[in-house]
Amino acid sequence: MTRPTPRSTPAAGSGTPDRPTLADTTRGRVLFGGDYNPEQWPEETWHEDVRLMREAGVNSVTLGVFSWAKLEPRPGAREFGWLDRLMDLMHENGIGVVLATPTSSPPPWMGRLHPETLPRDENGQTEWWGSRQHFSHSSATYRRYAAAITEDLAARYASHPALTMWHINNEYCTYDWGDEAATTFRRWLKDKYGTLDALNTAWGTAFWSQGYGSWDEILPPRRAHYMKNPTHVLDFKRFTSDMLLECYVIERDIVRRHTPHIPVTTNFMPFWTGQDAWRWAEEEDAVSVDIYPDPRDPFGGQNGALIQDMTRSQARGGPWMVMEQAAGPVNWRGVNHPKPRGLNRLWSLQAVARGADAVCYFQWRQSRQGSEKFHSGMVSHAGEQGRTFQEVKQIGAELARISGEVTGTRVPADVAILHDWNAWWAGQQDGRLSSRVDYQDVVRAWHRALWETNTTAAFAHPEHDLSAYKLVVVPQLYLLTDAAIDNLVAYVQRGGTLVCGFQTGVADEDDRVRTGGMDARLRELFGIRILHEWWPLDAGETVEAEGFRGTLWSEELEAGDADAVTPYKGGELDGLPAVLRKGRAWYVSTLPEPEALRDLLARVAAEAGVRPVLEGLPAGVEAVRRGELLFVLNHGREPVTVEVPAGTHRDLLTGEAAEGSLELERYGVAVLAP
C-alpha cells in the first residue's frame, strides 16, 4: 500500500522551488478554455472547433478526461492515433493541452472481467458500470490498470510540445464499503493505532459492547441496526480521503517521473466533504477547483467568492485554477436555469479578482448525447451565433487584455477563516444535538458577513501559522486537536484577535468530549467559567440578546473573568452571556442574524486594524485588490454608481480613465489600474 508521506502544513505563501508551478503553464497568460471531448464528434468537427477556439481566444484545453474506453478498448490494447492527431492539431494552432489520465471512468470490460474493481455502497450493493467513478479506490486490480494506462500516456506524450499540464483522474469522490476496502481499512487502522487496545480506547468501544478482539472483526461502517460508532465513521472518512489520495499520488508520480518540469493537478469539487483538501493540496503542483454557483441564488456571488478564497488558500495564497464552471445551465439541479446575460463574465472575472490564473469550463462543445447533453458548453446547441458563445468570445478577449497585469499577482488578506475537514466530519455525526446545524451553512454565514463589508478573507487550518493575520475567525470547529488549541491560545497571546463561534472545541481528535464540554484552555481564553448546557433552537426559533437576535443555537454559559458580556434577554438564558470578550478573544454562543453578525465582525475587524477594500459601496458591489489592481464587481441586477479612491485610474477592460466614480451596469465589472 503506497501512502503519501505526511508533510507539515506550510504557512500561507510558502513555496516549493523544486517543483513546477502553475506559472510554468500560464507563462504570463490567464489560461482560457475547458474540457474538450472530441471523441464524441466526427473528425471534421475538430477543425471547426479549432477555428472557433481561436476566435474565442482559447489557449488551453483539457483532453482525455473520460477517454479510457477509447484509449484501451480491450485489456492491454492501446489506440492512441486519434489522440496523436488531436495533440498535433492543438499544437499547430497554439493551444496548450492539459492532458488528463482517464482513470475516473474505467471501461465496461474492467467491471465485467474484474468485479472486485467495482465499489459497494454501505448496504453491500455493487455500484455497476454505466456511469462514472465506478472504481474501488482500494482495488489492487484497478490500481494496476490505472497505473498502466498512465504510464503509457506519460511515455508517449512526455515530449509533445502541446503538453502544458497533467490532470489526474477527475473529481475524486468514490466511497467504497466493499471487502477489499475492508481489508485495506484494517491495514490503515493498524498503521494509525498499532494495537487493538489503542483502537478500542480511541473509538470508545466500551460503549454498546463494541470492543474488538481481532482486526478481522473490523468492517467499514456498513448499514447498522441503529446509530454507528461516530469515531469509527470519522476514521472511515479519513481513510477514504487517504485512499483516494494514494490513487492520485500513484498516477502523479508516474507522470512526474516522465515530465518533472510539467505541473500536475487534480480538480477539487467546491467545499466537498470527501477529501481533506488541506492535505491533498500539498501533493499538487497547481490547485484547481470546479465552481458551479446557482444563477438563481441571490448569494451565488458570495458562494463563489468563498470557494475562490478557500482554493487560493489551499494554493498557499498563490494563483490557482478554475478547472470547471458552466457557461450556462447545468444538468443536475431540479430546475436548471441559464445564466442571465453578463453573469458568466461577472463570475469569471470574480475568480480572477480572487487569484485565479485560469478560467476554464466544462465543456467546450455541448454534448448531443449522454447524461450531460443539457449541461451547457462554451459552444452551446445554438452554435457560434448563440448568446453563450458570443459572451465566451468577450470573456476571452478581456482576459487577454488584462493577463499581463494580473497573472502571478496575489490577493492580500488580513483575516483568516479557520476550516478543518476533520471537524466537519465529526460534527455531522448521527446523534448530534441538532440536525439543523449544517457546518457549510455556518461557514457561509460568517464568510458572507465579511464579504458584505468587502473584507477579503483567506482560509487556514487551525494548526497553520496564523501570525500573518490581524483577525482570525472560527465559525465552528467542533473538533480541535491539542496542537490547534495551543495554536489559537498562542495567537491571541502574541496580540492577534480571535472571534470564535458556538460549539467549538467540544471534542478531541478521537471525537471524545472534552472535560467541561469545551476545552479548559479555550474556556480560560474566552473568560468562560462553566458551560452548563447547549440549547439548540428549532426552525423559526430565535433568542433575544442585547442588540441582536440569535438563530440556530444558544448556550447556557457562566462568565468567569471575561472583560465584557453581551447578555441574552428573556427566556431560560436571561442575563447569561450570548457574547463574551476577554482581551482580544471573543466567543459568540449563537448565530446572530446576518446583519448583526456583519456588524459584529466589522466592529471587531476595525478594532484589530483591518480595513475594507472600499467603504460605502452600494449593496451587492464587491471590491477586491489583486496586486496593484482593484476589481469592482456589481452583483446586482441594476446599474450602480461607485465611488473610487482618489486619483486617476485606468479601467483595463475599456481602456478608459476612471476618476472619482464609476458607472457599472448590472453584472458589470471594472478592473482599475493606478
Q: What are 481-532's pLDDT values in tens digits?
A: 999 999 999 999 999 999 999 999 999 999 999 999 999 999 999 999 999 9
The mean of the pLDDT values for the chain is: 95
Residue 145 has pLDDT above 80, yes or no: yes
Q: Which three cell numbers stand for residue 253?
A: 508520480
The predicted structure's pLDDT at residue 660: 85
Q: What is the pTM of this model?
A: 0.96
For residues 95 and 24, is the Cβ–Cβ distance under 8 A?
no
Between 644 and 535, where is the model more confident?
535
The predicted structure's pLDDT at residue 2: 38
DSSP state of 543: E
The predicted structure's pLDDT at residue 646: 78
Q: Which residues neighbour 141 within 8 Å (Cβ) at sequence distance 6 or greater?
A: 110, 114, 116, 117
Above pLDDT 70, what percent of the chain?
A: 97
Residue 11 has pLDDT above 80, yes or no: no
Residue 254 has pLDDT above 50, yes or no: yes
Active site residues: 171, 324
Indicate the pLDDT class of residue 116, thresholds 50, 70 and 90: very high
Residue range 41-65: mean pLDDT, rounded: 97
List the domains of the chain with CATH numbers.
22-115+160-176+262-406 (3.20.20.80), 415-608 (3.40.50.880), 621-673 (2.60.40.1180)
Rounded to whole angstroms, the Cα distance separating 191 from 199 reads: 11
332 known ligand binder: yes
535 known ligand binder: no
Q: Which three cell numbers stand for residue 94?
A: 497554439
Residue 12 has pLDDT above 50, yes or no: no
Residue range 80-91: mean pLDDT, rounded: 98
The predicted structure's pLDDT at residue 17: 54
487 known ligand binder: no
For residues 583 and 559, is the Cβ–Cβ distance under 8 A?
no
For residues 361 and 315, is the Cβ–Cβ distance under 8 A?
no
Indicate the pLDDT class of residue 658, thresholds 50, 70 and 90: confident
Residue 15 has pLDDT above 80, yes or no: no
Residue 292 has pLDDT above 80, yes or no: yes
